[in-house]
Structure 1
Amino acid sequence: MNTEKITVHFTDNSLLNPTNPILINVMGAGGTGSKVLTALMEMNHSLIELGHAGLQIRLWDDDVITQANLGRQRFAECEIGLYKSVALINRANRFSGTNWKAETVKFEKDRLDKLPENAGASIYISCVDSVKARFGIADILNILNNGKAYSNRPRYWLDFGNSQHTGQVLLSTIGTIKQPNSEKYETVASLPFITDEFGELLKQSEEQDDTPSCSLSEALEKQDLFINSSLAQMGCSLLWGLFRYGMTEYRGFFHNLKDFNTHPIKVA
């Protein structure tokens, strides 16, 4: 008889039945971020219907919409010249009646090494296209985790990353999440940052060209048409599971859209 316990991570209890909406900072409003925001709209509505307080989103991006963004990213021609974060948040608020916020700056320290204003949140979702940005986010999250306790204590970081045909999503805890005693499951309280676990691989991939594309055809040479949306749906499904089921056996996945192969990353 196999008595081996299943290894899982139980969701931080404060996120399951909160008094107020869960604060989420989303960093990046491009190919992946624009699709993630749509998934978060659906998630917010569904959570509220289930009696949850829902989500409060703050979207960070200093980029403006160009012609090259149309088609692969969720923008219209009439939005060219607007900040991506503003266009997406305005659209989400009109559609859903929410009061989500846009930040027209990057989620990073300023020249005086000060943390960005409104940096506090319970969940952080990064959809950035550079390794430097990921390490910068990790640095900020470590500082926030070591600060004084407050209601919006950072708890999770969900990172999305991709190349032309492949990508990955990885869930990390920010610090240690207290786990319940369980006879059925082997519980894991801490999930490592992507910058700690795959730091060297990230640095090796730094050669990726992140200069702006001048046309859609040029953009598609860097990131294929549906890699962002497939990652967004699957990654947000992982987040949804944390809320819906209060636990997860998986902390992410590697995804190859070219050969339709996805490899899950188990909690360990």
Structure 2
Amino acid sequence: MPPPNTTNVITMPRRARRGRIALPPAPDLDLSHLDAATVITRNYQTIRFVQIGAGGNGSFLAYNISRLAAVLEETGRTVKFVIIDPDRVEEGNVPRSNFSESEIGAYKAQTLALRFARAWGVRINSINRKFHPSLLWQSHEQNCLTILVGAVDNPEARRAINRALKMCRETEGRTPDTWWIDCGNDRETGQVLIGSATTPHQLRGAFAIDPLCQSLPSPAMQCPDLLRAVEEGPERKQRLSCLQLMLMNEQSLMINQRIANEAGEMLTQLLLYRNLQRFATFVDTKLGVQTSEYTTPDAVARSIRRKRTDFLLDATVLEEEQFIADEAA
């Protein structure tokens, strides 16, 4: 008779009988966070948050940004916060989103703005219509850091945010005045991506000043699929509410709050503690797993599918023709 398959069997040594158990070898660890650069922005007097979307992620994120705005104002900064969303609160938004039954029928953006302005003593404006890049340009200010906060669930809205970022970056220098942080989720997984560059050319010399990072690829550069429509089967064509998706076991009750907290923490590290060292975080609530991409040249190059990192370290390495070919590839 052949011996049994012992491939997955851990043999316990003799000394384990005395209470000491020998463990299998530890897996290789990712220690890239030890080499991560700190993301910097100029020390702006005015910080402007433009949040697009006030649904599942956005309703919780508005709370986190309001708290952060209150603390930033205590440091002497001027903070402006606007929430943009055309939709009204529906029965299906309760309880997964940060709304109550008494708010059904009210505009989402206006409801959150009024609630958190009173709670934290900060001024919050609301726009009860779809976001368009022109809204950002009409209120453009000098010496102001603008954070585009994407809390939307469709490619059309993300394309509008991407156009707004491109429009702003065309008039800015190497150090960006506009950043985009994007939140997205599926059933039990989600991601938070942050960046400022819309082309590889804008990333030249991002790591030139060691140990700092001046620019990062935008969420659209990191994940181009965010801007593309996803094919749905006929049974998914019908628009389902968040509550219906949750009851069908297709939306975790806590996923939106978890993603909003990750985004809030990244913004806090960037603006308050000035110690942000990651640009992408991925969460799986079912498995209890969270992984991040840290701000190293290798990780940034990998995120935009580039093998070379020299252009990130030195802005003079690659010629313009090479960047044109690179972007066209």
1:148-185 deviations in Å (ceiling 9; x for gaps): 78xxx7421100011110010001024659979755x2
1:23 aligned residue: 48
Give, as a single letter, the amino acid of the residue that structure 2 aligns with 1:7.
Answer: A
Q: CA deviation at 1:45?
A: 2.4
Residue among 250, 253, 259 paired with 2:281: 253
CA shift in 2, pair 1:253/1:206, >3 Å: farther
Bigger Cα displacement from structure 2, 239-248 vs 158-167:
239-248
Distance 2:241 2:65 in 1: 29
1:56-135 alignment, distance < 5 Å: 56-108=80-132, 115-116=134-135, 118=138, 120=140, 122-135=146-159
Whether contact under 8 Å (2:278, 2:293) holds in the other structure is yes
Change (3 A) 1:157 1:201: closer
2:292 aligned with 1:264: yes
2:80 maps to amino acid? Q
- Specify the structure having the higher radius of gyration (Cα): 2
- Any stretches of 5+ residues in structure 2 without a counterpart? 1-33, 297-329
Structure 1 residue 98: Cα displacement: 2.0
Partners of 1:245 and 1:78 lie apart in 2 by: 37
1:7 has 2:45 as partner? no
- Give the secondary-structure state (helix, strand or coil) at the position aligned to 1:168: strand
Change over 3 Å in CA distance of 1:33–1:155 after alignment to 2: same
Q: Distance in 2 between matches of 1:146 and 1:215?
A: 37
Aligned pairs for 1:61-210 within 5 A: 61-108=85-132, 115-116=134-135, 118=138, 120=140, 122-147=146-171, 154-174=177-197, 182=209, 185=211, 187-200=212-225, 203=228, 205=230, 207=232
* Cα deviation digits, residues 189-248 of structure 1 (max 9, x gap): 321122222114763745495864357243454421100101111121011011233232
Q: List runs of 5+ in structure 1 lacking aligned partners.
A: 110-114
Q: In the alignment, does 2:32 pair up with 1:46?
A: no
> SS in structure 1 opposite 2:37?
strand
Q: Percent identity?
A: 24
Quick one: which amino acid aligns to residue 243 of structure 2? L
SS in 2 for 1:245: coil
1:39-71 CA-to-partner distances (Å, cap 9, x unmatched) read 11221223334x242532100100111111110
More divergent stretch after superposition (51-60 vs 27-36): 51-60
The answer as to 2:245 corresponding to 1:218 is yes
Partner of 1:112: none
3-state SS of 2:99 partner: coil
1:133 Cα deviation after fit:
1.6
TM, length-normalised to structure 1:
0.82
SS in 2 for 1:29: coil
Distance in 2, matches of 1:148 and 1:249, equals 23
What is the one-letter code of the residue matched to 2:196?
A: T
Cα distance between partner residues in 2 of 1:201 and 1:34: 21
Cα gap change, 1:193 to 1:220, in 2 (>3 Å): farther
**2:18 corresponds to:** none
User: Cα RMSD between the aligned structures?
Assistant: 2.9
In structure 1, distance between residues paired with 2:52 and 2:166: 16
Whole-angstrom distance in 2 between the partners of 1:156 and 1:172:
6
Letter in 2 for 1:116: L
Name the SS of the counterpart of 2:190 in structure 1: strand
SS across alignment from 1:248: coil
Task: Write the letter of the residue equivalent to 2:289.
Answer: N
User: In 2, distance between residues paired with 1:48 and 1:168?
Assistant: 28
* Amino acid aligned to 1:59: I
